[in-house]
């Protein structure tokens, strides 16, 4: 698919690479974000990567959509030409993650009310749903919806189910939930339509930290199963500010 | 810190929804943090200029109702920006001793109360104080984002008894000024540019959006202005793979009723966006309340960018347009006149 420029008003320009949410597409978008960031085009306020597009927010007093297109087109072509037509890159071909995280996850039934439903929809047993979710690594495709709220991909194909027909009015903070090809974690309690399969004690967003959002686009995430009592202990420690996870690996490749 | 020495404003009546807002918190959207900030950035800038502040300084944003504040410092200079908003200073006996209209500075002393009224039709007003509020910046801004408890005063709307600390404990000794000739009333005509997903709608949708009036629904909030009117039909459906949401984006969910995304909009979303309100007209949507009529007019992107530059140039020229306000005696005379004819509804108290 040809990348397209889409005007989003007089102070934002979206560059769209495709119409699906896929890991390989997301990695290219993050590469483009990185390259645009390095060009230092005057008037760019911020660059927001999304699942299959990125948006450049700009100050129309210092820049214009026309000037942005001219400045960014060579970068877009470069990144797009490195994008296979079928977008079927295997994981090994992706850029290595800048950081890898091990996120504690309690999969016990009281914290994963929708596991049974996923199991029956996918023809798996509940323990297989949990094991499958915890055995693969994910990339942060995008942060959005709420501060620090990650969209992780790609979910193993057997776990891919549509969103709930009726969203819940309150999803507890720390809920790990899945739908479509992605997994999300709710940083704070909010309404939500994804299937809840577990709970993490990790605080995804804390304004008092030097880096308020724990995760950044492109980070690699694995889930590490913990028990209910460990969840309680770590939650309590996180609330006291006594515990914050650190990346298990920080690459020097990026 | 010297906060305790300087003092602040004590909230007597917070009104319906009063929050601290500045020009917003850009730079953090890639981490999912909404920009927030004043709904009406033109009124915010104007009120700040009248008290001698930078245009983006934090002010109190009152929605639907005014508020009442007690001065707990030597003196403070204030101005209110927005529609027919007014400021009244009440002495310790509760008698009105001074009054100013929108974009006219006024000074109040310790123990006096400042009453902010929103007389309509604009639903928003911005109370700026000389020197600004001594509140910490969170991620580069003092704007309140209530859903994640960020910024402002403890990340929430003001409550009775709150003390909002001030940077200055005493008003600069100088005369009062006013900024004449600004129209901060709701505008029914709102200009838009097409996109980003206008191609995902049926051919007649853009014509409907620009030819039929839309009415503001009561569920509107700082996140989005929800409108009711002619249904806008999608070609294939309302859902898209989530992308970023620009300020003023007109999102259209499955019911075909448009929502204009305002200051507290989520950074990303999964609904088609038929068009985007231009930045010059977006502040005007911070003034319209439930039942108001909005008419959209499609213009070119180049024209929209020109208008954005024109607005910025106008704001930059406002400090030169400040003029001396009337001496207080005349203010008193005018006050009596106003009281005889107006019978203004007291926004803060509901009297």
pLDDT tens across A105-140, in order?
999 999 999 999 999 999 999 999 999 999 999 999
Neighbours of A42 (CB within 10 A): 11
**Closest in B26, B276, B308 to A8, CB measured:** B276
Cβ–Cβ below 8 Å for B309 and A61? yes
Whether B12 has a pLDDT exceeding 90, the answer reads yes
Whether A89 has a pLDDT exceeding 90, the answer reads no
pLDDT at A165: 81
Percent of chain A exceeding pLDDT 90 equals: 71
pLDDT at B334: 46
pLDDT at B328: 53
What is the nearest CA distance from B192 to chain A, expressed in angstroms?
8
A65 in contact with B, Cβ within 8 Å: yes
Cβ–Cβ below 8 Å for A11 and B247? yes
Identify the band that residue A25 occupies on the pLDDT scale cut at 50, 70 and 90: confident
Interval B60-117: pLDDT, tens: 999 999 999 999 999 999 999 998 999 999 999 989 999 999 999 999 999 999 999 9
pLDDT at A253: 46
Cβ–Cβ below 8 Å for A51 and B242? yes
Cβ–Cβ below 8 Å for A9 and B248? yes
Identify the band that residue B306 occupies on the pLDDT scale cut at 50, 70 and 90: very high
Identify the band that residue B256 occupies on the pLDDT scale cut at 50, 70 and 90: very high
Cβ–Cβ below 8 Å for B244 and A54? yes
pLDDT at A228: 97
pLDDT at A191: 86
**Closest in B138, B243, B248 to A53, CB measured:** B243
Percent of chain A exceeding pLDDT 70 equals: 93
Query: Which sequence spans correspond to the domains of chain B?
Result: 3-179+322-342, 189-309
Place of tokens 């709608």: B201
pLDDT at B188: 84
Q: How far apart are CA B65 and CA A115, in angstroms?
A: 47
Cβ–Cβ below 8 Å for A10 and B279? yes
ipTM: 0.91
pLDDT (average), residues A212-233? 96
Identify the band that residue A21 occupies on the pLDDT scale cut at 50, 70 and 90: confident
A23 in contact with B, Cβ within 8 Å: no
Q: Is A131 helix (H, G, I), strand (E, B) or coil?
A: helix
Cβ–Cβ below 8 Å for B247 and A21? no
Contacts of A65 in chain B (CB under 8 A): 301, 305
pLDDT at A1: 60
B240 in contact with A, Cβ within 8 Å: yes
- Pick the closest to residue B67 from B56, B53, B82, B57 (CA basis): B82
Query: Which sequence spans correspond to the domains of chain A?
Result: 4-91, 96-250
| A4-91: in CATH 3.40.1170.10 | no
pLDDT (average), residues B218-225? 95
Identify the band that residue B4 occupies on the pLDDT scale cut at 50, 70 and 90: low
Q: Which CATH number is B189-309 given?
A: 2.40.100.10
By CA distance, what is A190's nearest residue in B?
A: B147
Q: Which CATH number is A96-250 given?
A: 2.40.100.10
Cβ–Cβ below 8 Å for B147 and A21? no
pLDDT (average), residues B33-40? 98
Q: How far apart are CA B281 and CA B183, in angstroms?
A: 13
Cβ–Cβ below 8 Å for A50 and B242? yes
By CA distance, what is B150's nearest residue in A?
A: A207
Cβ–Cβ below 8 Å for A14 and B244? yes
Identify the band that residue B187 occupies on the pLDDT scale cut at 50, 70 and 90: confident
Structure tokens at B190: 């709102």
A142 in contact with B, Cβ within 8 Å: yes
Identify the band that residue B164 occupies on the pLDDT scale cut at 50, 70 and 90: very high
Whether B345 has a pLDDT exceeding 80, the answer reads no
Does residue B347 or residue B29 have the better pLDDT?
A: B29
Whether A88 has a pLDDT exceeding 80, the answer reads no
Interval A44-55: pLDDT, tens: 999 999 999 999
Best of B31, B285, B317 to substitute, by most chain A Cβ atoms within 10 angstroms, is B31
Cβ–Cβ below 8 Å for B242 and A147? no
B106 in contact with A, Cβ within 8 Å: no
Best of A17, A18, A144, A187 to substitute, by most chain B Cβ atoms within 10 angstroms, is A144
Q: Which long-range CB contacts under 8 A does B203-210 form with residues at least 24 apart?
A: B204/B233, B205/B232, B205/B233, B205/B234, B205/B274, B206/B274, B206/B275, B206/B298, B208/B232, B209/B250, B209/B258, B209/B274, B209/B275, B209/B296, B210/B295, B210/B296, B210/B297, B210/B298
């Amino acid at each position: 698919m040809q990348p397209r420029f889409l005007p989003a008003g007089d102070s934002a320009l979206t560059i769209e690479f495709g119409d699906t949410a896929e890991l390989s597409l997301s990695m290219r978008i993050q590469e483009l974000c990185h390259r645009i960031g390095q060009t230092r085009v005057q008037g760019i306020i911020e660059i927001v990567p999304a699942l299959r597009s990125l948006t450049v927010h700009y100050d129309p007093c210092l820049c214009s959509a026309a000037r942005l297109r001219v400045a960014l087109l060579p970068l877009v072509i470069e990144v797009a030409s490195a994008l296979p037509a079928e977008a079927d890159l295997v994981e090994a071909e992706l850029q290595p993650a800048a950081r890898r995280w091990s996120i504690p996850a309690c999969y016990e039934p009281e914290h994963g009310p929708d596991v049974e439903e996923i199991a029956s929809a996918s023809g798996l047993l509940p323990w297989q749903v949990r094991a499958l979710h915890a055995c693969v690594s994910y990339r942060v495709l995008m942060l959005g919806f709420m501060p620090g709220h990650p969209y992780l991909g790609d979910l193993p194909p057997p776990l891919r189910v549509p969103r709930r027909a009726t969203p819940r009015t309150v999803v507890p903070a720390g809920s790990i939930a899945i739908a479509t090809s992605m997994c999300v974690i709710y940083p704070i309690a909010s309404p939500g339509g994804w299937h809840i399969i577990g709970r993490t004690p990790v605080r995804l967003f804390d304004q008092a930290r030097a880096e308020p959002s724990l995760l950044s686009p492109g980070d690699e995430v694995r889930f590490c199963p913990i028990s209910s009592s460990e969840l309680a202990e770590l939650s309590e420690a996180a609330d006291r500010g006594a515990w914050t996870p650190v990346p298990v690996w920080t690459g020097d490749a990026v | 810190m010297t906060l305790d020495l300087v003092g602040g404003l004590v909230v007597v009546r917070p009104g319906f929804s009063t929050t601290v807002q500045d020009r917003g918190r850009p730079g953090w959207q890639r981490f999912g943090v909404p920009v927030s900030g004043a709904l009406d950035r033109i009124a915010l800038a104007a009120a700040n200029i009248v008290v001698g502040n930078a245009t983006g300084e934090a002010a109190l944003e009152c929605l639907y109702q005014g508020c009442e504040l007690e001065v707990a410092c030597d003196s403070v200079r204030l101005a209110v920006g927005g529609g027919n908003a007014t400021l009244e200073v009440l002495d310790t006996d509760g008698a009105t001793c001074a009054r100013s209209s929108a974009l006219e500075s006024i000074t109040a002393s310790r123990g006096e109360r400042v009453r902010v009224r929103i007389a309509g039709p604009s639903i928003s007003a911005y109370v700026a104080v000389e020197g600004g509020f001594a509140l910490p910046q969170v991620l580069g801004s003092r704007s309140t984002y209530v859903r994640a408890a960020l910024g402002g005063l403890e990340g929430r709307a003001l409550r009775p008894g709150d003390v909002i600390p001030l940077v200055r404990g005493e008003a600069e000794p100088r005369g009062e000024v006013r900024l004449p000739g600004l129209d901060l009333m709701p505008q029914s005509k709102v200009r838009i540019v097409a996109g980003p997903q206008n191609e995902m709608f049926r051919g007649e949708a853009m014509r409907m959006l620009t030819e039929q009036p839309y009415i503001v629904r009561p569920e509107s909030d700082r996140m989005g202005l929800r409108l009711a009117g002619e249904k806008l039909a999608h070609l294939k459906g309302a859902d898209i793979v989530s992308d970023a949401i620009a300020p003023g984006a007109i999102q259209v969910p499955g019911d075909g009723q448009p929502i204009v995304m305002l200051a507290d909009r989520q950074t990303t979303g999964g609904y088609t966006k038929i068009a985007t309100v231009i930045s010059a007209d977006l502040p005007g949507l911070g003034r319209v309340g439930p039942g108001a009529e909005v008419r959209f007019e499609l213009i070119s992107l180049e024209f929209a960018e020109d208008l954005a530059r024109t607005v910025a140039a106008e704001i930059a020229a406002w400090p030169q347009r400040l003029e001396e306000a009337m001496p207080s005696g005349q203010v008193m005379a005018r006050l009596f006149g106003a009281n005889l004819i107006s019978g203004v509804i007291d926004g803060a108290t509901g009297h």
